[in-house]
Amino acid sequence: MAHSEQPKVRVDAYESVFGALAHAARRQVLLTIYFNGGSMTAGEIAAIFEHAWQTTTRHLRVLERAGLLTHEKRGRKRIYRIERKRLELVRDWLAHFSKNSMH
């Protein structure tokens, strides 16, 4: 019966999104996918880094848990897509500092 579960969900959303953005490699992943048209395979993404593939896989998982990426299987490839909408959560948080309440 629609008992507000929303707030906690939201809070955790901030937690996971800000957490995900806290690593340079993950920010880089988002930018790269975006400038590549919005989606890329795991392999293409991994190729932009020097560190081991598996490390990138881990970053992708973090980004996905945060809702910033989704993936879709296409044969033996996995295509990751950026969820631009999810980034708005950051913008929303920043907006608090513009509501010029009482200054």
What residue ranges bind DNA (CB under 7 A)?
Answer: 19, 22-23, 25, 41-44, 46, 50-62, 71, 73, 75-78
Of 33, 18, 34, 32, the C-alpha closest to 66 is 18
CA–CA separation, 22 and 4 (whole Å): 29
CA–CA separation, 76 and 41 (whole Å): 10
User: What's the angle, vertex CA 86, arms to CA 83 and CA 87, rounded to 5?
Assistant: 100
CA–CA separation, 98 and 101 (whole Å): 8
Residue 51 interacts with its own copies (CB under 8 A): yes or no: no
Task: Single out the segment in contact with its own copies by CB under 8 A; choices: 7-15, 42-50, 57-65, 73-81.
Answer: 7-15
Instruction: Find which of DNA, its own copies, none residue 31 binds, CB within 5 to 8 Å per kind.
Output: its own copies
The binder of its own copies chosen from 8, 74, 76, 103 (CB under 8 A): 103
Which parts of this chain interact with its own copies (CB under 8 A)?
Answer: 11, 14-15, 18-19, 21-22, 24, 27, 30-31, 34-35, 37-38, 82, 84, 87, 90-91, 93-94, 96-97, 101-103
